[in-house]
Structure 1
């Protein structure tokens, strides 16, 4: 079934919220409405509607005029085999010794590489995003430099690709946690798909607030691929649960946010080792003094 989108922009959150609410009363009714700030400091907001039938363009024009928005851009979205599309787009990811791939690319795993099977349907971090890729590269660099680890935590693990990378390449005890129970279920499914069931302990936890994490600490390596806000909030706990001389690999940080994160972690006893930018995202490798 073909679907339609109708998109516009206008200034300010109150007007955008009001326009979104007004669109809910349209006939035909949108199947979904999104209201998002345009992240360029312009003050513009984008309002979009998704329709199973062609929208009433006269009604959209009236709404745009009423709320001071630009005319709606209406487009028909062609039917797409999204599974096939995703498989075409998500080529295997290479990060040093690591090779992240989906089942459709299982025959492409190079000899001698550490293969990590993550299917796109499993979401939460396939390795294609600059944050996950940055963490894998940072970890690979540490292994190449001769670092060894005995106790590893992956905080906000998503697919657990980072935890699996650690379990595959070290003799460390590895624990992976996520605040989202669905992510933890996905992590366990990915471990099973990689013939690694039981190799990583997977727990539901907010930060380090969980009995198994508390018992396993302190860690000599902590992955935290989340976002700037939670990373800053977790800095004191990160220091408390990291061994002296231990390392943290952090991502989910926009390039312009990196200095702030580095400063906060410096005040909590971490020194910057490396920073790596991949498109819009920065990955930090830190060492606790």
Structure 2
């Protein structure tokens, strides 16, 4: 059964009283409430309660609340369509081309072309559909690094949707360890790897920092990519050096243009040399060598 919106119209002052009373009445149920202006000239505001499933009990309690405030119990009811809003929003995303990579949703499968390294991502709760400048920049840089260096294993630290891990697996046909601190992201990443036929090469684990035994078991790595944030990347510089093979490559992103110098300084101190920076939409992807 879908969701029902119960709503009542009142003046601004009355709407505020109603909202406060309903918030207290439905506190234990954790039902979403909202108040919005619908007619400024007439001072009309609408207070809504959103109910999953059978709304009869909630409507009765709402009437009791209104009666307790001395207000008429004229409650409107609207049955909302049962829509997967995550899927709906992804339908509006256009596919992304970055080098040979073509990142798309299920609705754009027919737009794949010969020669594309197609990656289908329905990201859901995890970051990384390929549309953000950080992800697109990483994809372009990874293609260049893999072509030049032919790494034999890789790490995607902070994998999110696993778009970068899948890209590496499909491009280089090498094992990739994909880690994230968020178990929801890890589940999404594993599902995306299966969807793209990369599950045999991409191992998704939930891990904080480099303490998980999988890092020692699978490393050191010929290539590490980390599309997270500048602050954590700076803190992780010494650990990155310990888990990268001699002369291995590191691709970092999630870094604003103005944060580049601070990141480069931290990695220079950890023994890395800067090879190249790619700028995209105010963000940078940085290639470093150990």
TM-score by length of 2: 0.72
User: How far off is 1:29 after superposition?
Assistant: 4.8
Separation (CA, whole Å) in 1 of partners of 2:278 and 2:6: 42
For each residue in 1:1-49, what CA deviation from the matched residue of structure 2 results, as whole angstroms up to 9, or x when unmatched?
699xxxxxxxxxxxxxxxxxxxxx87525999xxxxxxxxxxxxxxxxx
Give the superposed CA RMSD.
Answer: 2.9
Q: Tell me if 1:107 matches 2:89.
A: no
Q: Which residue of 2 aligns with 1:272?
A: 274
Q: Which residue of 1 aligns with 2:130?
A: 127
Q: Which residue of 1 aligns with 2:119?
A: 116
For 2:142, which of 117, 139, 144 is the aligned residue? 139
Separation (CA, whole Å) in 2 of partners of 1:227 and 1:164: 21
For each residue in 1:73-132, what CA deviation from the matched residue of structure 2 results, as whole angstroms up to 9, or x when unmatched?
xxxxxx9985445422x1111110111010000000111110111024353100101111
| Contact 2:123/2:161, CA 8 A, preserved across alignment | no
Structure with greater Cα Rg: 2
Count, aligned residues: 229
| Residues 190-205 of structure 1 aligned to structure 2 (within 5 Å) | 190-205=192-207
Q: Which residue of 1 aligns with 2:100?
A: 97
| Residues 136-285 of structure 1 aligned to structure 2 (within 5 Å) | 136-144=139-147, 146-285=148-287
Instruction: Please list every run of 5 or more consecutive structure 2 residues that lacks an aligned counterpart in the other structure.
Output: 8-15, 24-31, 44-79
For 1:52, which of 27, 34, 39 is the aligned residue? 34
| Contact 1:254/1:280, CA 8 A, preserved across alignment | yes
| Contact 1:176/1:201, CA 8 A, preserved across alignment | yes
Separation (CA, whole Å) in 2 of partners of 1:283 and 1:2: 48
Which consecutive segments of 4 or more residues in structure 1 shift more than 6 A?
A: none
User: How far off is 1:173 after superposition?
Assistant: 2.0
| Contact 1:95/1:140, CA 8 A, preserved across alignment | no
Distance 1:171 1:31, change over 3 A: farther
Instruction: Please list every run of 5 or more consecutive structure 1 residues that lacks an aligned counterpart in the other structure.
Output: 4-24, 33-49, 59-78
Corresponding residue SS for 1:121: coil
